[in-house]
Amino acid sequence: MALYSDKVMDHFLKPRNLGVIENADGIGEVGNARCGDIMKMYLKIDDDIITDVKFETFGCASAIASSSMATELIKGQRVEDAMKLTNKAVAEALDGLPAYKMHCSVLAEEAIQAALEDYKNKSQGNAEN
């Protein structure tokens, strides 16, 4: 059996939503200290709906495929629903990851949560002004 599923290879070779959003409403950056990989997520949010999402990942094939799939999963979702995205759901959507590569999908979950937290903090700040 191949180490990586066709979906992992597809998202690694043709990542969706790769790039940067200028003036993003939420930005999250996380890293894994053990492997040194870094993932950054940018969100555009209108009326609590994620209208656009882009990512930059300096990391392994599984991390790139996980970020790409995660952006596809949350695009168009409500903020509260995107908060519930788990690394397991990302890995399942990719038709699985090797066990020792599951931590790569954790980066995607954490990057999205960090970006959503950033959005919440910013919008609370705006409400107080």
Residues marked active site are found at 35, 104
Minimum distance from residue 53 beta carbon to ligand FES (Å): 19
Which residue stretch of 5-13, 32-40, 85-93, 112-120 sits at the interface with ligand FES (rule: CB under 6 A)? 32-40
CA distance 126 to 43: 17
Among 30, 44, 59, 68, binds ligand FES (CB under 6 A): 59
Q: Does 15 bind ligand FES (CB under 6 A)?
A: no
Q: Does 9 bind ligand FES (CB under 6 A)?
A: no
CA distance 108 to 129: 32
Nearer to ligand FES, 79 or 104 (CB): 104
Give the CA dihedral 67, 69, 72, 74, nearest 10 degrees. Answer: -70
Q: Does 63 bind ligand FES (CB under 6 A)?
A: yes
68's tokens: 């790409």
Among 107, 111, 115, 116, binds ligand FES (CB under 6 A): 107
Q: Would you tell me which residues interact with ligand FES (CB under 6 A)?
A: 32, 35, 37, 59-60, 62-63, 104, 107
